[in-house]
Amino acid sequence: MAEKMELNDVEVWDGNYAAAQALRQAQVDVVAAYPITPSTPIVENYGAFVANGYIDGEFVMVESEHGAMSTCVGAAAAGGRVATATSSQGFLLMVEVLYQASGMRLPIVLNVVNRALASPLNVRGDHGDMYAGRDSGWIQLDAFNAQEAYDLNFCAFKIAEDINVRLPAMVHQDGFLTSHTAQNVSPLSDDEAYAFIGDYKPVEEMLDFSKAVTYGAQTEEDWHYEHKAKQHRALMDSYVVIDRVFEEFKQKTGREYKRVESYLMEDAEVAIVALGSTVETAIQAAQELRDNEGLKAGVVAPRCFRPFPFNEIRDALADVKAVAVLDRSCPMGAMGALFNEVSAAMYTTPSRPLITNFIYGLGGRDFSLEDAKHIFREQKGHADVGYITTHIQQFSGLRGPKLGFYETKRSK
């Protein structure tokens, strides 16, 4: 029997340790992992919890991140509650197996500590790895701070394991900005946390020899299409369970989560859409602009990146005149991934606000209050004249000459 760990009402944890504590309290059966900065402390701490008797689980050290996710697939198919963590190049090495896990409908939880992709090599945070896995069939939740990295892990287990979902889930947090930044975290007791998730209920586990099942079957043109459509439908319909689990978590803790978080949007004329730790910077900038300049700025943040909250984004931005969508990843020859999602949603609205794409913060480059304020002010300029006065896509915070693409001057 695993020992309980005494926790205070408020702990000072970074995002990595918060996630590791959530894995301990969920009593994960198997964590298979290969270390990579900046996610290593999550699995390292899980291993320490196992060694010290706080978890009746197994920590499996493997030869690569591909091996880590492959082991997770095997353990989940065998009927265990399974989790791991990775970042950046390790995430890319997992990608092949991510599709296997979701196609087999295995409720694995993966903590992704977002980090830039090589080359050149960089260990700091941006969202290149998040976007690389966006079509892999996983539910994806995004934490903006350490408290949320803790809370969303519990939600991820409960959502993924629901009989009406049975899909794997990722919990994203920004490398170093969240993963290594100590903040106040209000944890649940061990009993409260486990009661919220509940006992793991295996479905068609391979070790149930009374009922033979097959994982990894091959289909060609006869049934492959139908399998993928059914998987897509399950992911799209999972929003019902996500909303219910968020509401249950609110009832237990008082901490509320929504698939789209809106801040200062009641009367906003301009808005920033962003992910991760950037959201808190944008909120502070919006509040200061309201207080000091009377600029009606607001912030919209997708909490749930997959399934993408199309309707909720559309509703949150329906009344604004100009929107800046911030992508913390270089799209290499295209518009940013988040920009494309938001633009698709807003194209279906009668208002069709002006939308600009900002690439920012690559490789951990700081995104300051002044950067956010500049973007808000520029959106106000677009709104006042009725067209985008600059390039549709810009690189924010770049040293040297300004870099922008897709210039337009569209009249009302």
Number of domains the chain contains:
2
Q: Beta strand 183-185 with 139-142: parallel, antiparallel or unpaired?
A: unpaired
User: Is the residue at 211 inside a domain?
Assistant: yes
Q: What is the mean pLDDT of residues 13-22?
A: 98
338 assigned to some structural domain: yes
Statement to judge: residues 242 and 104 lie in one domain = yes
Looking at the domain assignment, is residue 6 inside a domain?
no
DSSP symbol at 280: H
Residue 4 lies in a domain: no
64 in a domain, yes or no? yes
- Does residue 293 sit in the same domain as residue 210? no
- Average predicted confidence (pLDDT) for the chain: 96
| Lookup result for tokens 């009668």 | 350
**What pLDDT does 285 receive?**
98
Whether the per-residue pLDDT at 21 is higher than 60: the answer is yes
Instruction: Clarify whether residues 302 and 213 are in a common domain.
Output: no
Q: How confident is the model at residue 184 (pLDDT cuts 50, 70, 90)?
A: very high
Mean local confidence (pLDDT), 65-81: 98
Give the pLDDT confidence of 261-293 residue by residue, as tens digits.
999 999 999 999 999 999 999 999 999 999 999
Tokens standing for residue 350: 């009668």
Phi, psi torsion values for 295, nearest 5 degrees: -85, 120
Say which CATH number the domain at 108 has.
3.40.50.970
The answer to whether residues 232 and 182 belong to one domain is yes
**Taking the CA of residue 384 as centre, how many other CA atoms within 13 Å lie in the half-sphere pointing to its CB?**
9
Q: Within this chain, do residues 99 and 119 fall inside the same structural domain, yes or no?
A: yes
Does the pLDDT value for residue 163 go beyond 60?
Answer: yes
Task: Indicate if 243 and 275 belong to the same structural domain.
Answer: no
Average pLDDT value for residue range 186-194: 98
Q: Is the pLDDT of residue 366 over 80?
A: yes
Cα-based distances in Å from 25 to 122, 363, 399: 32, 33, 45
When mean pLDDT is compared across 88-92, 147-151, 213-217, 351-355, the lowest value belongs to 213-217
Helix (H, G, I), strand (E, B) or coil at 190: helix
pLDDT score recorded for residue 411: 46
Each residue of 262-279: b (16+ CB within 10 Å) or e? Answer: bbbbeebbbbbbbbbbbb
The answer, yes or no, to whether residue 409 has pLDDT greater than 80, is no
The reported pLDDT for the residue numbered 208 is 87
Residues 123 and 238 in one domain: yes
Contact between 34 and 67 (Cβ < 8 Å): yes
Structural tokens at position 356: 């600009």
Write the DSSP string, 55-85. -S-EEEE-SSHHHHHHHHHHHHHTT--EEEE
Region 329-358: mean pLDDT is 96
- Out of 216, 233, 253, pick the residue that ends a domain: 253
Peptide bond into 120 cis (omega under 30): yes
Residue 410's pLDDT is what? Answer: 55
Same structural domain, 128 and 270 = no
What is the domain-level CATH number for residue 280? 3.40.50.920
What is the spatial distance between Cα 343 and Cα 261, in angstroms, rounded to a whole number?
18
pLDDT at 22 over 70: yes
Question: By the 8 A CB rule, do 311 and 236 touch?
Answer: no
Residues 300 and 158 in one domain: no
Res. 412: pLDDT tops 90: no
Cα dihedral sign, 199-160-233-76 = negative
Q: Which one of 209, 235, 253 terminates a domain?
A: 253
Per-residue model confidence (pLDDT) at position 408: 76
Cα–Cα nearest to 277, from 179, 145, 185, 148: 145
Note down the domain range covering 86.
Answer: 11-253
* Domain end position, chosen among 220, 253, 286: 253
In a domain? residue 225: yes
- Is 80 exceeded by the pLDDT of residue 1? no
Shared domain check, 281 and 378: yes
Q: Check whether 128 has a pLDDT greater than 80.
A: yes
